[in-house]
Amino acid sequence: MLRLKLAVAAAALLAGAAFASPTAPKNGAEYTTLKTPQPVQADGKKVEVIEFFMYHCPACYALEPAMLAWVKKQGDKIVFRRIHLPLTGENDPEAHMFLTLEAMKLEESLHAKLLTTWHVERRRLKSDADNLDWAVKNGVDKDKYLTTYNSFSVITKLKNAGRVAGTYEVNSTPTLIVNGRYLTNPSMVDASNPGIPRQQLDQATLQVLDALVAMSHK
């Protein structure tokens, strides 16, 4: 009888693994639920989606085209925003650049150019001087950039960036947060669905996002 029970239990586990799917994601597999839900910058009719990323991150660059297409497809269903993970802490130059351009309302228009600089031109922006040089060459007013770069609000946000990532339980990029409650990323989707071809992983991740947005609307 014990052997029969063990066999039934093993079969159930295998069945659960077999039905793992990005279109029907499971908590603890394709996504996790944050221990402490976070406030959102969206009204009750829209779902907030945050992408934690880093400019130098190859996986973020690979996800970008599919991510942009997904955001466009969602239309008014979501509010999408990005947060730059501060890899090197309170003085991380990439996060500093992001926060500066965001404060100047230029990040969105320059985001693709920055990714191209890192991943196509293979130019590394690793210091304050690199950032300033890049910004000026791409049409940003030097004095306004420096004033914003060194402003109290930007410096404060930079110092708090690590704490913000911690509240969302984020330690890698790209990581996606849905409605301040659910966390997913390509690594989780890949680990939970090992049969997915690598070239289809980004789309599978967005299928998980579809499901989480639908859950949030309910």
Is residue 25 predicted with pLDDT exceeding 80?
yes
| CA dist list (Å): 158 to 78, 108, 149, 203 | 26, 18, 10, 32
pLDDT band at 32 (very low <50, low <70, confident <90, very high): very high
* CATH number for the domain harbouring residue 112: 3.40.30.10
Total tally of structural domains belonging to the chain: 1
What string of H, E and C letters represents the secondary structure of 187-212? HHHHHHCCCCCHHHHHHHHHHHHHHH
Does residue 129 sit within a domain?
yes
Does residue 31 sit within a domain?
no
Residues 65-76, mean pLDDT to the nearest whole number:
96
Give dist(CA 106, CA 122) in Å, integer: 22
pLDDT band at 217 (very low <50, low <70, confident <90, very high): confident
Does residue 162 sit within a domain?
yes
Does residue 27 sit within a domain?
no
pLDDT band at 11 (very low <50, low <70, confident <90, very high): very low
**8-state DSSP, 104:** T
Mean pLDDT, all residues of the chain: 91
Does residue 112 sit within a domain?
yes
Structural domain for 175, as ranges = 42-210
Does residue 170 sit within a domain?
yes
Is residue 10 predicted with pLDDT exceeding 50?
no
pLDDT for 42 equals 82
Q: Which residue has the higher pLDDT, 137 or 23?
A: 137
pLDDT in tens, 142-185: 999 999 999 999 999 999 999 999 999 999 999 999 999 999 99
pLDDT for 195 equals 84
Does residue 25 sit within a domain?
no
Is residue 7 predicted with pLDDT exceeding 90?
no
pLDDT in tens, 34-64: 999 999 998 878 999 999 999 999 999 999 9
pLDDT in tens, 185-213: 999 999 999 888 888 999 999 999 999 99
Predicted TM-score (pTM) of the model is 0.88
Q: How many CA atoms lie within 13 A of 58 on its CB side?
A: 1
